[in-house]
Chains A and B, each alone.
Chain A
Amino acid sequence: MFEYLITNYNYMVVVFLMMMGLWAMIAKKNLVKKCIGLVIFQTGIILFYISMGAKNNSTIPIIDPKYGEAAINYANPLTQILMLTAIVVGVATLGVGLMLVQRIYKEYGSINEDRILEKFK
C-alpha cells in the first residue's frame, strides 16, 4: 500500500490538481478565479508529463563524461521539451485571458459573471 502510494503519488496529485482547476473553470463566477483555475489545470498536465519522464538515480539531461554515455543516467529530455512548449503556450493564453478580463471590466464595470449577465438584460 505504502509502496503504491510512493510510486503513484505524483499521478494522484496530478489528477487532483487538474480536477481542482477544472472545477474552478466551470463553477467559479469571478473571471480572475477562472483564469487561476485554467493555470492550475495546465500546471497539472505539465506535472503529469514531467513525472512520467523522471528516472530513479538519474541526473539532469546534460551529457557529461563524468556520468557516462548511457541513457539511463539522465532524465528524459523529450517530456521536458514538450512541457517547455506547454508553459509558454499557457502564459500566452493567460495573457489573452487577463486582457479580456480588463476589457470586460472597462465595459461592464464588473468581473463577476452573474453581474455581467444581469447587465445584458
Chain B
Amino acid sequence: MIWQFDILLLTLVVVCGFVSLWIKDLMGAVIVFGAYSFLMCLVWTGMGAVDVAFTEAAVGAGVSTIFFIATVFHTSRTIRYNKWDLSTKFFSSIICILMGFFLMVAIGDFPAWGDALSPVNNNVAKYYLENSMEETKVPNVVTSVLADYRAFDTMFETGVVFVASLVIFTLLLQSDGRKKLMKSAFQKVSFLNVSESLIIRKACGLMVPFMQLFALYVVVHGHYSPGGGFQGGVILGASLILLSMAYDIKKVFARFHMKFMIKSLAVGVLIFAGIGLICLILGGNFLDYSALSKLFPSMGSIKSRYNAMLWVEVGVALTVMSGMFAIYTSLSSNGKFEEGL
C-alpha cells in the first residue's frame, strides 16, 4: 500500500469515469470505461485485494466491456437526439450534491485509511486470518471464507449468474429463433465463409488452449494463490468468447451447444447446493463440509472441508463460464445466435 500510487491512480480513475460519462460517442465512452475498470483493478491490487482485482480485470475490464460493445454495436453509436433538459439536470445535481455532502461529513468519523487497528480489521476478519489455517488448511483466506465460512453467500451469488443468464436468454430469444436454434444442434458448419482474416483465426486457435489451461489452473489452485472458481470461470468463458469472435457463434455451438449451456448453468449451482444437501443428509448443517467425513472416513473433517471447497469452486466455475458465454452470445448476436461481433 503506497499512498503516492494510490492518489495518482485514483485521480486517473475519476478522470476516466468523468470522460466516459461526458463523451458523446458511445463506443469511445465504452472504451474509456474499460480503461476505468482496469485502473480500478490496479488500485485494488495496491491495497492487497488481489482476488478482487483479478475478478475485476476479468469481469469489469474484460467481459463487461465486451457486453457494452455488443450493445452499442447492435443499437446506435452516437447520441443524436439531445434535447437540453435543464430542469432534470439541475434537480438531479442538487440531489447528488446534497447527498455527497451528507456522505462527506461522515468521513471525518472513519478510522484512517490503512489503520490496522480499526474495527473492520479486528472483529471478524481477524478470526478468519488466525483460524483459517487450522480449521480448513487453506492458506488463501479469501478462498476459505468464500467457499466455507460464507459459502451460503457464494451459492446465491452463483445463483445470481444463473438467473441473469436465464433472464437474458429467455428475453432476447424470439419464439421462431428458438425452434431454429434447437433444430440446429450439431449440424456441420462450413468454416469457409467466415469474414475474419486468417491471421486472427490462427492466432486465436493457438491462444485458446493455453487460456483454458491457465483457467483450469486458476480454478484448482485457488487454495494456494489468488484465484478460484469465479476468476477461472470468467477466463474459461473469455476463451469461448474469443473463439466465437474469431470464427462465429455457430462454430462454437458445434462444440458447446446452447442446450448444454443452459443445463451446465444449472448444473454448476446444483453441484454447489448438492454438496450442501449431502452434508445436510449426512447429519450436519447445510454446507457443513465436515459432515462429509462420514462418507469418506479416511479424510477427517478438516481434509473433507478442504476437498469439498475444491468441488464447490468447480461448480462455481462451470456456472460462471456458461453464464458469461450465454450472456455474450445473447447480447452479441442480438438473440439470433448466428454471427456475433
Are A and B close enough to touch in the complex, i.e. CB under 8 Å? yes
Digit string of A88-120 for contact with B (CB within 8 Å is 1, else 0)?
A: 110111111011111101100011101100000
A80-B142, A98-B68 known; A60 vs B161 contact (CB < 8 Å): no
Contact B29 A33 (CB under 8 A): yes
Query: B66 → chain A, closest Cβ, in Å?
Result: 10
Query: A54 → chain B, closest Cβ, in Å?
Result: 4
Q: Which residues of B are found within 8 Å of A91, using beta-carbon distances?
A: 59-60, 63-64, 67
Q: In this assembly, does B307 line the interface, its C-beta being within 8 Å of a C-beta of chain A?
A: no
Contact A83 B52 (CB under 8 A): yes
Q: Which residues of B are found within 8 Å of A83, using beta-carbon distances?
A: 49, 52
Give the docked Cα–Cα distance between A43 and B17 (Å).
10
How many of chain A's residues touch chain B, expressed as a range? 35 or more
Contact A77 B145 (CB under 8 A): yes
Number of A-B residue pairs having CB atoms within 8 Å of each other in the complex: 296
Q: Considering only CB atoms, which chain B residue lies closest to A35 in the complex?
A: B68
Q: In this assembly, does B213 line the interface, its C-beta being within 8 Å of a C-beta of chain A?
A: no
**Residues of chain B whose beta carbon lies under 8 Å from any beta carbon of chain A:** 1, 3, 6-7, 10, 13-14, 17-18, 20-21, 26, 29-30, 33, 36-37, 40, 43-44, 47-52, 55-56, 59-60, 63-64, 67-68, 70-72, 74-76, 79-83, 85, 88-89, 92-93, 95-97, 99-100, 103-104, 107-108, 110-116, 118, 120-121, 124-126, 128-130, 132-133, 139-142, 145-146, 150, 153-154, 157, 160-161, 163-165, 167-168, 171-172, 224-226, 230, 320, 323, 327, 330-331, 334-335
Question: Can you offer 6 A-B residue contacts whose CB atoms are under 8 A?
Answer: A40-B36, A47-B44, A71-B129, A81-B146, A81-B153, A98-B331
